[in-house]
Amino acid sequence: MGRHSLQRESRLPNSVKGAIVMGAMAATTTGAFPAITAAAATVDIPGIGNFDVPDQFAPQVQQFNETVKNVQNAVPGAGVQVGQPANPAPLLPQLGQSPFPNLFPAPQHQSPGDVALQAAQTKIGSEYVWGATGPYSFDCSGLVQWAYKQAGVQLPRTSFEQSNVGMPVAYQDLQPGDIVITNGGGHAGIYAGDGKLLNAPQSGETVSYATLRPSEVVTARRINA
């Protein structure tokens, strides 16, 4: 079947070689393989050899050869000669080390206050009802108690009792999630950051944010894990 000279300089993957051979056959055959004439085009299949096909298929052969060159440029190591070392395999990550450290960052630790604040934020717009402790309506200390319960912390019921839990925090050191007691000890809320207090204010209002002034604070408390 014409001239056939083996070449050993290409190391295309077997899957790519198979695709190339099948493409070559599809591009150069229609039914039975035509007889080779004096004028012939050459199909260059890296890693396999050169094959002559009738000159009438020259346009397809030229397109095929250009496709092969593009594949060699696109596939790493396609042009590596026999005996030439290929690119070394990447080192495996050490035991316990993620191979994709930037895809799945380690989750940040959340304090009880973080969880409580997030829980309370889901109740924004809920109705204030004196003595209510949720989950659909709240009074001030009822909201604080319910929110911390979602963090696994059981707080006492009233704002006066809540003013003694955890550790005291100065106003300038407040962090989101801290319990803030105002109104002479008769009101409780959760600090939301940026000088805002998330609370259940009073009858006729709903759970919402309010501006917190230093002069209003009786005490602030932080619940540590």
* pLDDT tens, position by position, 141-182: 999 999 999 999 999 999 999 999 999 999 999 999 999 999
pTM exceeding the 0.75 threshold for the entire prediction: no
Percent of the chain with pLDDT over 70: 60
Neighbours of 20 (CB within 10 A): 21
Return d(Cα 97, Cα 125) in angstroms, integer.
45
In order of their start, the domains of the chain are 14-74 (no CATH), 112-222 (3.90.1720.10)
Lowest-pLDDT range of 70-84, 111-125, 153-167, 183-197: 70-84
B/e letters for 114-138, b = 16+ CB within 10 Å, e = fewer, are bbbbebbeebeebebeeebbbeebb
Per residue in 96-111, pLDDT (tens digit) is 444 444 444 545 789 9
